[in-house]
Amino acid sequence: MVEFEYVDLDTKRKILDTWGKMSESDKTHFINQVALSLSVWGDDVRGKRLVVEVLKMMSNNGTKTLADFGIYAKQVEKNRLARDRLKKMSRAMLVLDGYRIKHGLSSVAHKDIGV
């Protein structure tokens, strides 16, 4: 179990709200991208925190679909949590890019990334 004290209440509320409004296929694409990321950059507590960091960024940017995960994931490469796994992070980006190409997902976020 991962604890989430480091995510503020408003962000949690926004993520719950976005999740509730997403289509089933978007949810599946999102989970698949999380699964691929964890497989590459590690599924330990820090790996899961990186996933949450991506979610925080998406939420702060007002995204309407978490299926854009692979596009926003590039932004956490600069996060201090990723500092000692940069090679794994770059590989994860390549894998996520390939997943998005294969499934015809857009290469640009539904909302411009302003974070």
Partner 1 sequence: MAEKSAAMKKKPEEIATAQIEEKFASLMNKEIFHKAMDWRRGLTDKQVAAKLVEYENISLEKLPGDWRRFLAGVIEGATTPRHVMPLDDYVKMAMAKRPQLVKEKMDVESLVRQMVATKVPGMPQLTEGAVKAALDLAAMMEMRKPEKFDDKFWAEGKAVV
CB of 64 to partner 1, least distance (A): 11
- Tell me the closest approach of the beta carbon of residue 80 to partner 1, in angstroms: 21
Measured from the CB of residue 23, what is the shortest distance to partner 1 in angstroms? 9
Other residues' Cβ atoms within 10 Å of the Cβ of residue 81: 15
| Residue 64 CA to its chain's centroid (Å) | 13
Q: How far apart are CA 36 and CA 73, in angstroms?
A: 12
Binding-site ranges for partner 1 (CB under 8 A) = 1-4, 7, 9, 12-13, 15-16, 19, 30-32, 34-36, 38-40, 43, 48, 51-52, 91, 94-104, 106-108, 110
85 and 59 Cβ atoms separated by less than 8 Å: no
Smallest separation, CB 34 to partner 1 (Å): 4
Nearer to partner 1, 20 or 114 (CB): 20
Helices 86-102 and 24-41 pack at an angle, to 10 degrees, of 150
How far is residue 82's CA from residue 75's CA, in Å, rounded to a whole number? 11
